[in-house]
Amino acid sequence: MSPSVHVCQAGSCRRNGSEAVLLEIEELTNALDGECKVKGSGCLGLCSRGPAAVSVTEGREQRSHVNLDSLEASANVVETATGTKPRLDDPGLLTRLSGVRAMRMREQAISQYRWNGALNSILDEVQDKAKRGKSSGDLERLLAEVLVKSGFKNPPFDTMPSKIEDYTQWTLEDVTKLTRHSAVFHFKSNDRKRGTPNPRGGGRSPPKPKTWHTTLLGEVGKNEEGPLPWVERDYTPISGALEWERGTCDILIKIYKDGAATSWLHRVLTTWEASGRPEAGLKVWLSKPVLTLSVPYLVSGDAASFSPASVLLLLAGTGIVAMPQVLHHRDPYGKIGISVPKRHQLHVPVDMVFSCRADDVLMLDEITERCKEASEYANNEPKPPQINKGLRNCTLLLTDAKASAENSPFPNVTCSANDLNDLKSLPNAEVLESRLSLEIVRGALAKMPEPCRVVVSGPSAFNQAARNMLLEERVSDEAITILEA
């Protein structure tokens, strides 16, 4: 078996320049004798330490590599995979790779309307060129363009602008507190510039089915993520595309004590509630919808892969938001508002394993409803060829609750035992006091028709553990899609 390197091309790794890392590793391996396959991959579950890659030696030994923030780090990945240290004194190689990483990072940020991240990358490169006595005319022009897009012409960046390109303001209508730590924020907007996940009309090609997300701006003031007075965080709404088009959006958010965006949101929410929830009291900026996964392949971007005969969701914590977005594609016209050719509809069995803390069980009502939907369908059909409604099977894994609710944002909210018993009573659901294990993964995979697409979404540690278990069960990398939650 030839050595290989898999470079993450998803989420935060991509924002941190993993496209350039892939190019660097390709160039470095091409300069060596012998074969080493280099390819981009889905998320490797190492989101908080990206850019990341996995090297595989001829003896199939795998090793994870994180924080690949330099050409030297990329060279170490190649050396681990091949056993040969690449030369870094080739002037031609250095010329080809010079500036590529910074360029890819700013291109990625601009493509997803992340103006603070884009400006941070541009300013860093302008300063670097100035130190080396090089001209930065093109970058200066790009800097001016991005400043205008972000609503500014010049510093200072002390207050929020009145207009931000590709963003609109949404008003908080209500909050549904689910647990001590998490809530669903219900937003509303009448601004038609909010866009749509599925642009159509006006001579456009028919929209391709997809899952999607939006970027929320946390108005925290001066911060280390860039020069602008906000931080940028991606969220996958639990409401559908059709609801977005009608001007409503529901976002499940877990409040972290040390989270820059969520701690800000909790502060303004507390003020809003204390003042009697005035109608115009709390507004947030949300970006136009951004593509997450293409359907039915459930892979990043438009890259074609096998059309799955089944889908297994391995989710944890706020990764549960992937469930409704995937299931909306059972009924694309009713839930998304678009006509989709039958071959691109997701009429395959969908099973789920969901892991969460016992005091932070998210979207329990919807999980129960989706299991009931599938169970009732199966009972009404004498011999259904496949369950193509709701969740065919669901396993809820409960881990230990936090010892105290003392510092939780919503200390008086508890999970109803009756709601949990309702799920337990269903023939296609089970509730276990357990973490995700190889045995549970093996049992879930055994029920899935092949080829099966496995979608993993949760905290980094969960994603990495789930990926390792899947690989141990001989699930190919091409069949695994990992999303950071």
pLDDT tens per residue, range 318-367: 999 999 999 999 888 888 888 888 878 888 999 999 999 988 999 999 99
pLDDT at 404: 63
pLDDT band at 313 (very low <50, low <70, confident <90, very high): very high
CATH number of 167-291: 2.40.30.10
Nearest one of 39, 81, 83 to 64, comparing CA atoms: 81
- Cβ contact 264:216 at 8 Å: no
What's the confidence (pLDDT) of residue 416? 62
Chain centroid to CA 437: 23
- Phi-psi domain of 316 (left: phi exceeds 0; alpha: psi -120 through 50; beta: other): beta
Q: Domain 295-484: which topology?
A: Rossmann fold (3.40.50)
Q: Across the chain, what does the average pLDDT equal?
A: 87
pLDDT at residue 413 greater than cutoff 70: yes
Mean pLDDT along residues 230-253: 95
> Which residue carries 């012409």 as its tokens?
153
Q: What average pLDDT does the segment 42-47 reach?
A: 78
Q: What is the mean pLDDT of residues 303-311?
A: 82
Model pLDDT, residue 465? 92
Q: Please report the pLDDT score of residue 375 as a whole number.
A: 76
Q: What is the rounded average pLDDT of the residues 227-241?
A: 95
pLDDT at position 41 is 78
Strand-pair partners of 452: 310
Q: Where in the chain is the domain with CATH 2.40.30.10?
A: 167-291
For residue 451, whether the previous peptide bond is cis, meaning omega lies within 30 degrees of 0, is yes
CA distance 238 to 457: 14
pLDDT at 452: 96
Q: Indicate where the chain has its CATH 3.40.50.80 domain(s).
A: 295-484
pLDDT digits (tens, 9 = 90+) for 136-191: 778 888 989 999 999 998 888 989 999 999 999 999 999 999 998 999 999 999 99
Q: Taking 80 as the threshold, does the pLDDT of residue 11 lie above it?
A: no
pLDDT at 443: 97
Q: Comparing 391 with 386, which gets the higher pLDDT?
A: 391
pTM of the model: 0.88
CA 296 to chain centre: 17
Q: Is the pLDDT of residue 120 over 80?
A: yes
CATH 3.40.30.10, applies to 4-97: yes
The pLDDT value given to residue 417:
60
Lowest mean pLDDT of 32-36, 227-231, 283-287, 378-382, name the range: 378-382
